[in-house]
Amino acid sequence: MARRSSKADPALTHIDAKGEARMVDVSAKAATERTAVAEGRVVMSKATLALILSGDAKKGDVLGTARLAGIMAAKRTSDLIPLCHPLALSRVTLDIAPDQKLPGCVVRSVVKVTGPTGVEMEALTAVAIACLTIYDMIKAAERGVRIEGIRLVEKIGGKSGHYRAQD
């Protein structure tokens, strides 16, 4: 049986009183500006990172393709995650920064909407798909590439307010 929730004891919003999955009804919520930032890392060898940066990857422009894949994925999140609402996104940016210290790439998305529900899942989906696209494009050069640390970095707006991840 479902319990009422408080901030100290949050409930799962996609589960009804019978324990069954449900899409949350957001029809009574006000449309407000909401932003979410997510990030992840693709860790690889220095040689593979150099291959990406030189533009000589066999499949083409790795970072440009991953950027487009992430943006497209954010727009299709409700098709991929069963209980997500389809949203008219007003902003999706995806930045991929090479990092010699990893070595690899840091992928960061910013997604914005004015609507009754947040865009955390869209930001996370953008990062996940961009990371997977990088892997797909370089797997012929290196199979041991790792995708790590996909997480929500920040959420602004909505009833629950501002959230910023602790480092």
What are the catalytic residues? Answer: 136
Report how far residue 17's alpha carbon sits from residue 148's, in angstroms, rounded to the nearest whole number.
35
Report how far residue 50's alpha carbon sits from residue 32's, in angstroms, rounded to the nearest whole number.
43
Tracing tokens 């049986």 back to the chain, one arrives at 1
Amino acid at 113: V
Q: 137 is written with which tokens?
A: 């494009």
Question: For residue 30, what are the CA distances in angstroms to 17, 149, 157, 159?
Answer: 25, 33, 11, 10
Q: 13 is written with which tokens?
A: 């919003």
